């Protein structure tokens, strides 16, 4: 039987050699290596479904935004038939970017170099000097369109892949779809973006943020300590023991996707603190008293109860998913946040981590809410999201401090010989009544869920 051969770097190191699957270690050199980066672009970013944005960003015919799939720029646009297309933003004539603005509305995208023009669906309209055949006669017009990616929508989120053989997105999400449906599919109207996304370029390898998003729980204790000091995550004293209840929850993971479901009882006690014993309540009573983040009134709550299954309602009642990722480069933050008037606010933040080289990525941040949220509440949700998960937000200011440091460390001749360790192992542990969906790790947050991210990375990179 033929043995699978792991790709190798120029110095003979095989990709396989960068991992110790038994001791759960990964070479720090993965966090900065232009050769590894190039292999990632081919083996991951041209193969998997990638999140590019939300349908509400381009509501009208001709609307478009320019986004990235790996290091390839793409035009995401809506055509006259209301269909969304994703086309490579590279002119098939001589390689100029066809679209040079970040967003807009156009029924024709005309390349500024020699004037070739393309429709929102990527098809070639024509070139100047049509009769004189500026575009030649070797290829018919049908062959001169922009390269097209496959597109799939998931609760309004726009995903695309270059891989014509890829299974549908549902396969990439696996059992985790059950939890993502809770996050994105709770209301009849669905979600919408609150304005255009923020963009920031960070001098770091994309994986520093990518793998952290897959449920790195322990950094909450230290890196985000200031959030507790100011009461954003509930008040806490100086004792580390007081963190233990906050670190309790249920991590779920599969295929590199991971979510941290945070104990509703702890949230209720620390952020509402009415003295009532939350654990004695039924699922229905719990979600009524503490609806998941973003469910801000009775109408949305009723819709949620209608749309979600009893198993999904149970998840919301016990520990709603609040923080996590979608493999490979999406970070999700669906959080509660105390407001200055004493009430409990919420914010939905989605980030994508777009690689721009081995030591640079673009951090795109969307703020969302349920479309049918009252207008005045949308302002509060936007403010909470900006202050926590925005590029200048308190949480992301903490997180983004570490990523460049790890990348610089990985550049050192000695530093690159260090390993990343995921050895806080809790083991699978599904509480009674919790749905049998994905790998379930209940209790104090450990490294198990995050390790799935690396297993998925390893699988794709060694193929």
> Where on the chain is the footprint of Fe ion (CB under 5 A)?
399
Residues annotated as catalytic (active site), given as ranges: 114, 216, 219, 224, 399
Contact partner, 93, from Fe ion, ligand FES, none, Cβ < 5-8 Å per class: ligand FES
Using CB distances below 5 to 8 A depending on partner kind, what does residue 14 bind out of ligand FES, Fe ion, none? none
List the one residue from 19, 32, 49, 116 that touches ligand FES (CB under 6 A): 116
Provide the β-strand partners of residue 326: 330
Shortest Cβ distance from residue 287 to ligand FES (Å)?
54
Among 8, 9, 41, 96, which residue interacts with ligand FES (rule: CB under 6 A)? 96
Q: Write out the H or E segment, with its range, that includes residue 446.
A: none
Q: Which H or E run includes 69?
A: strand 63-69
Q: Which is nearer to ligand FES, 89 or 456 (CB)?
A: 89
Please report which helix (H) or strand (E) contains residue 384, including its range: helix 375-389
- Among 37, 54, 78, 93, contact with ligand FES (rule: CB under 6 A): 93
Which one of ligand FES, Fe ion, none interacts with residue 168, CB within 5 to 8 A by kind?
none
- Shortest gap between Cβ of 160 and ligand FES (angstroms)? 22
Q: Are 187 and 94 in contact (CB under 8 A)?
A: no
**What is the distance between the terminal CA atoms of the chain, rounded to a whole angstrom?**
16
The listed partner (Fe ion, ligand FES, none) that binds 116, CB under 5 to 8 Å by sort, is ligand FES
- Determine the interface stretch with ligand FES among 109-117, 173-181, 283-291, 363-371 (rule: CB under 6 A): 109-117
Closest distance between ligand FES and the C-beta of residue 113, in Å? 4
Check binding of 117 to ligand FES (CB under 6 A).
Answer: no
Position 144 contacts ligand FES (CB under 6 A):
no
Min CB(114)–ligand FES separation in Å: 3
The listed partner (ligand FES, Fe ion, none) that binds 399, CB under 5 to 8 Å by sort, is Fe ion
Q: Which of 182, 375, 213 is nearest to 291 (CA)?
A: 182
**Would you say 98 or 335 has its CB closer to Fe ion?**
335
Rounded Cα–Cα distance for residues 352 and 332 (Å): 9
**H-helix or E-strand containing 73?**
strand 72-78
Handedness of CA 9, 11, 12, 17 (dihedral sign): negative
CA gap 264, 392 in Å, rounded: 28
CB of 453 to Fe ion, least distance (A): 15
Does the bond joining 383 to the residue before it have cis omega, within 30 degrees of 0? no
Nearest Cα to Cα of residue 255 among 429, 420, 437, 422: 437
Quote the CA–CA distance of 112 and 100 in Å, as a whole number: 9
Residue 149 burial (CB count, 10 A): 24
Among 94, 199, 405, 421, binds ligand FES (CB under 6 A): 94
Q: Which is nearer to Fe ion, 359 or 399 (CB)?
A: 399
**With CB under 6 A as the contact rule, which of the stretches 90-98, 118-126, 149-157, 337-345 interacts with ligand FES?**
90-98
Helix (H) or strand (E) holding 318: helix 310-318
Q: Are 208 and 402 in contact (CB under 8 A)?
A: yes
Residue 94 interacts with which of ligand FES, Fe ion, none, CB < 5 to 8 Å by class: ligand FES
Q: 403 touches which of Fe ion, ligand FES, none (CB within 5 to 8 A by kind)?
A: none
Residue 217 or 256 with smaller CB distance to Fe ion: 217
Q: Taking the CB of residue 260, how many other CB atoms lie within 10 A of it?
A: 26
Which of 46, 79, 114, 394 is close enough to bind ligand FES by CB under 6 A?
Answer: 114
Closest CA to 153 of 126, 180, 130: 180
Q: Which is nearer to ligand FES, 47 or 114 (CB)?
A: 114
Residue 91 makes contact with ligand FES by CB under 6 A: yes
Count the alpha carbons within 13 Å of 286 in the hemisphere toward its beta carbon: 23
Residues 441, 426: Cα–Cα separation, whole Å: 7
Q: Name the residues that contact ligand FES, by CB under 6 A.
A: 91, 93-94, 96, 111, 113-116
């Amino acid at each position: 039987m033929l043995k699978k051969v792991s790709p190798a770097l120029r110095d003979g190191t095989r990709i396989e050699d960068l991992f110790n699957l038994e001791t759960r270690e990964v070479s720090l050199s993965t966090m900065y290596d232009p050769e590894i980066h190039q292999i990632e672009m081919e083996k991951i970013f041209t193969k998997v479904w990638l999140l590019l944005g939300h349908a509400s960003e381009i509501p009208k015919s001709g609307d478009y935004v320019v986004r990235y799939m790996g290091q390839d720029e793409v035009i995401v646009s809506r055509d006259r038939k209301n269909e969304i297309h994703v086309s490579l933003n590279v002119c098939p004539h001589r390689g100029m970017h066809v679209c040079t603005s970040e967003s807009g509305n156009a029924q024709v995208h005309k390349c500024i170099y020699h004037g070739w023009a393309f429709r929102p669906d990527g098809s070639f309209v024509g070139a100047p000097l049509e009769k004189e055949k500026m575009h030649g006669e070797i290829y018919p017009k049908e062959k001169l369109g922009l390269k097209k990616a496959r597109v799939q929508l998931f609760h309004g989120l726009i995903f695309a892949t270059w891989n014509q053989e890829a299974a549908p997105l549902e396969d990439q999400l696996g059992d985790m779809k059950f939890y993502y449906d809770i996050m994105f599919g709770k209301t009849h109207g669905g979600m919408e973006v609150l304005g255009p996304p923020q963009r920031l370029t960070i001098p770091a390898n994309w994986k520093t943020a990518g793998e952290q998003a897959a449920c790195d729980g322990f950094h909450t204790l230290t890196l985000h300590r200031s959030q507790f000091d100011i009461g954003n995550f509930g008040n806490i004293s100086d004792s580390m023991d007081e963190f233990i209840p906050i670190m309790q929850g249920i991590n779920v993971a599969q295929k590199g996707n991971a979510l941290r479901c945070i104990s509703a009882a702890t949230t209720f006690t620390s952020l509402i603190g009415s003295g009532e014993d939350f654990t004695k309540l039924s699922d229905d009573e719990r979600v009524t008293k503490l609806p998941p983040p973003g469910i801000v009134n009775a109408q949305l709550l009723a819709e949620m109860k209608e749309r979600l299954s009893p198993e999904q309602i149970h998840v919301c009642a016990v520990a709603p998913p609040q923080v996590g990722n979608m493999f490979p480069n999406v970070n999700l933050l669906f959080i509660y946040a105390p407001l200055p008037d004493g009430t409990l606010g919420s914010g939905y933040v989605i980030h994508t981590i777009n690689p721009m080289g081995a030591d640079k990525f673009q951090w795109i941040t969307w703020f969302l809410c349920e479309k049918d949220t009252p207008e005045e509440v949308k302002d509060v949700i936007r403010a909470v999201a900006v202050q926590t998960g925005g590029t200048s937000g308190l949480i992301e200011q903490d997180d983004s401090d570490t990523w460049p440091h790890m990348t610089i460390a990985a550049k050192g001749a000695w530093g690159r010989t260090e390993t990343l360790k995921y050895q806080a192992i809790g083991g699978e542990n599904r509480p009674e009544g919790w749905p049998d969906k994905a790998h379930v790790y209940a209790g104090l947050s450990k490294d198990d869920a995050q390790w799935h991210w690396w297993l998925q990375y390893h699988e794709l990179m060694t193929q």
